[in-house]
C-alpha cells in the first residue's frame, strides 16, 4: 500500500487508496482556485426583514467570503456591531484560503449589516432560531490544481477511486475515498489540536493548556517558535502577552487567565474555558477524529471493505435525504450480513466507525477489535469522555466511506464534486496530488 506523507500519518491518515503517482501541484494558489458553496438545509421559516425582532430575533444572511476564516469573520462582524461573537452562528466552518458561500445568523435587531472587506453579505430574513452548526446538506466544490507535474495521471487515479467505490453502489463516474478527517481538522501549520484534546480527555488540564500555548511547529515563523519556547521555559504567564505575537489571540487569552493564578488543574481548565465554546469542543472533537482516522487506516491496511459490512460492523441507515443517520444503527451479525450488504449497495445503509464517547457501541468481531486496539494505542477509554461543560461527549458514529460524482477538466486540472456535510474536500484532492499537505491548505 502507498504510505501517506509523514504529516498525514501524524493525524492518523496512514495510506492512500490509489497507487498511481500523484499529479503533484498545489491548491489555493489564489482564493478563486478553491470555491465552496453550501447546500443549505435551514429548516426554520424565514420572515421578512422588517418582522418583529422580539418574535424573530435572528437575522439570517448569506455571505460570500474571500480569504476569511469563519471564526475571524464572526469576530470582525460582532466587533463592528459592538456585541459578543457568541451572538453569531453558522452552518459550517470553512477554510480561510478559499471563496466560500455560506449561511449565518446573528441575534440582532437591525436589518442592515456593516460592510467588511472580502465579504459580500446578503440579508435573507428573520427567524425564531439561529442557524445551527449542521444546518446544511453538504458542500459543492470546484478546485483548481496549479503547477501539476503529471496531470495525465489524473484519469488513472480516478479509475482507482472508482474501483474503491465499486464495492458498494459503483455507479458510473462515482468515486470514493475513506471518509477521514482532513489535515485542517487538526491544524494545517501546527497539527496539535488532537493532542490537546487527548490531554483533556485524559484529565491533564495543565498539559492541554501549556501545549496549546507553548508547543511550536517548524512550519511556523521563527519569531512565533521563539516566543512559544520562551514562554514554555519561563512559565511567566503575566509577560506572555508581550512575548506572543498579536495574531495568537487564543494563546494570549489562555496565558492571561493563567497569569491570574496557575496553582491547580482547575486554573488550567478555566484558562481553556476562556476560548470560544466551539474551540473548546473542537479539542475533544479532534481527539475523536484522530482515533477515527486510525481506525479507518487499520481497516484499509487489513483489506476490509469500506462500502459493505463484515460481521461485527455497526451500520447506520439513511435518513429521508439519503444521508447517514447515526441515531439509527444496527450491529451486523452473520444472519443479516447479506441483507445489510444489499442496503449498503443501494445507499440505504452505511458502514460506520465510532467517534468515541461515553455511549460508544463497539459492535463485535474484527471491527470492534480494531476500534479497541486504537483506543488502547492512544491511551483513552469511552468513560474518559465524561467531562464538564463543552469538553464532554457521548460520541456518535460516522460513515467510513464517502462517494461522489466527479468531473475532471484539464488546462488547468480542475476537480468538481459535492460532498455531504462533515466530509473534507482535501481528502479527495490528496489522492490526486499526493504532496505535502501544506500544498493543499
Active-site residue set:
95
Place of cell 465510532: 354
Whether 408 contacts 173, CB under 8 Å: no
What element of type H or E holds 160? helix 154-165
CA distance 127 to 292: 36
DSSP state of 427: H
Whether 42 contacts 103, CB under 8 Å: yes
Nearest to 205 by CA among 153, 276, 258, 147: 258
- Partners of 123 in beta bridges: 61
Query: Which whole-number Å values give the CA distances from 345 to 305, 340, 353, in the listed order?
Result: 12, 9, 18
What element of type H or E holds 24? strand 24-26
Count, residues in the chain: 441
Place of cell 479497541: 372
Whether 317 contacts 327, CB under 8 Å: no
Query: Which whole-number Å values give the CA distances from 330 to 291, 339, 358, in the listed order?
Result: 21, 12, 18
CA distance 345 to 176: 13
Whether 129 contacts 58, CB under 8 Å: yes
Amino acid at each position: 500500500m502507498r504510505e501517506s506523507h509523514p504529516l498525514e500519518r501524524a493525524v492518523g491518515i496512514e495510506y492512500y487508496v490509489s497507487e498511481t503517482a500523484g499529479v503533484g501541484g498545489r491548491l489555493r494558489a489564489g482564493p478563486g482556485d478553491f470555491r465552496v458553496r453550501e447546500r443549505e438545509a435551514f429548516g426554520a421559516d424565514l420572515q421578512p426583514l422588517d418582522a418583529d425582532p422580539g418574535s424573530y430575533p435572528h437575522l439570517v444572511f448569506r455571505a460570500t467570503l474571500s480569504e476569511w476564516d469563519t471564526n475571524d469573520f464572526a469576530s470582525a462582524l460582532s466587533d463592528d456591531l459592538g456585541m459578543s461573537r457568541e451572538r453569531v452562528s453558522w452552518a459550517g466552518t470553512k477554510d480561510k484560503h478559499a471563496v466560500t458561500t455560506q449561511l449565518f445568523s446573528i441575534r440582532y435587531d437591525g436589518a442592515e449589516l456593516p460592510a467588511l472587506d472580502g465579504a459580500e453579505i446578503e440579508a435573507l430574513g428573520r427567524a425564531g432560531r439561529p442557524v445551527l452548526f449542521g444546518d446544511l446538506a453538504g458542500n459543492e466544490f470546484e478546485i483548481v490544481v496549479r503547477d501539476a507535474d503529471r496531470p495525465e495521471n489524473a484519469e488513472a487515479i480516478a479509475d482507482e477511486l472508482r474501483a474503491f467505490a465499486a464495492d458498494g453502489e459503483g455507479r458510473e463516474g462515482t468515486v470514493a475515498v475513506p471518509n477521514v478527517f482532513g489535515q485542517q481538522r487538526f491544524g494545517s501549520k501546527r497539527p496539535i489540536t488532537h493532542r490537546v484534546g487527548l490531554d483533556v480527555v485524559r484529565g491533564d488540564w495543565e498539559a492541554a493548556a501549556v501545549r496549546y500555548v507553548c508547543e511550536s511547529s517548524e512550519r511556523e515563523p521563527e519569531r512565533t517558535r521563539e516566543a512559544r519556547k520562551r514562554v514554555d521555559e519561563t512559565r511567566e504567564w503575566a509577560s506572555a502577552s508581550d512575548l506572543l505575537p498579536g495574531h495568537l489571540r487564543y494563546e494570549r487569552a489562555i496565558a492571561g487567565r493563567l497569569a491570574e493564578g496557575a496553582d491547580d488543574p482547575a486554573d488550567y481548565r478555566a484558562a481553556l474555558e476562556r476560548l470560544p465554546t466551539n474551540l473548546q469542543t473542537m479539542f475533544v472533537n479532534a481527539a475523536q477524529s484522530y482515533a477515527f482516522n486510525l481506525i479507518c487506516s487499520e481497516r484499509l491496511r487489513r483489506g476490509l471493505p469500506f462500502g459493505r459490512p463484515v460481521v461485527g460492523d455497526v451500520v447506520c441507515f439513511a435518513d429521508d435525504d439519503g444521508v447517514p443517520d447515526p441515531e439509527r444503527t444496527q450491529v451486523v451479525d452473520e444472519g443479516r450480513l447479506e441483507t445489510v450488504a444489499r442496503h449498503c449497495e443501494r445507499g440505504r445503509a452505511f458502514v460506520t466507525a465510532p467517534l468515541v464517547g461515553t455511549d460508544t457501541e463497539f459492535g463485535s468481531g474484527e471491527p470492534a477489535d480494531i476500534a479497541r486496539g486504537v483506543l488502547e494505542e492512544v491511551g483513552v477509554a469511552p468513560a474518559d469522555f465524561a467531562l464538564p461543560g463543552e469538553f464532554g461527549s457521548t460520541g456518535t458514529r460516522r460513515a467510513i466511506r464517502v462517494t461522489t460524482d466527479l468531473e475532471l477538466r484539464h488546462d488547468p486540472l480542475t476537480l468538481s464534486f459535492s460532498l455531504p456535510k462533515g466530509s473534507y474536500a482535501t481528502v479527495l484532492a490528496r489522492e490526486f496530488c499526493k504532496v505535502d499537505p501544506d500544498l493543499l491548505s
